[in-house]
Amino acid sequence: MTTAFYPGSFDPMTNGHLDVLIQALAIAPRVVIGIGVHPGKVPMFSFEKRAELIRQSLTETLPERLADIEVIAFDNLVVDAARRHGTKILIRGLRDGTDLDYEMQMAGMNRQMAPDIQTVFLPAGATTRPITATLVRQIAAMGGDVTAFVPGPVLAALQALRAS
């Protein structure tokens, strides 16, 4: 059974992240979602909240696959985290050529460090291609409507943050 590792900050989870996760679940029976935690950065949501939002978002769209994911935190190299969790595939989403250039560099470096772990690129769907978590954070912080960019549970969490 091949397990895939899908790393990212997921701060917040976007419809693009969800699209890639659903694609990953179509090619791997199990996906470990690795939330990168950096001590020097202050995220919008805690690790626990991001993990909860990922699970809630998948529950809304693909509830029968919820048992096939695990959400973990990591603060080291992606390949080390992937190995620690027994995964041999790294999942990376691509939105455009800029992503491809960056991700190809990362895939090359990761392959040098861990030749036993393969990177698989999954293209973003047409409707999710322009979405980035950074833009979602900025729009939400300025009171804009991010309904089209995030799953329902994330929208509710962003609205609750704004109200507090």
DSSP string, 55-72: HHHHHHH-GGGGGGEEEE
pLDDT at 1 over 80: no
CATH code of the domain containing 20: 3.40.50.620
pLDDT tens profile 64-121: 999 999 999 999 999 999 999 999 999 999 999 999 999 999 999 999 999 999 999 9
Mean pLDDT estimate for the chain: 95
Q: Report percent pLDDT > 90 for the chain.
A: 90
* Number of independent structural domains in the chain: 1
Q: Which residues pair with 7 in a beta bridge?
A: 34
Name, in order, each residue with C-beta under 8 angstroms of 28's C-beta and a sequence gap of 6 or more.
2, 3, 4, 89, 91
pLDDT tens profile 25-39: 999 999 999 999 887
The residue range of the domain holding 113 is: 3-163
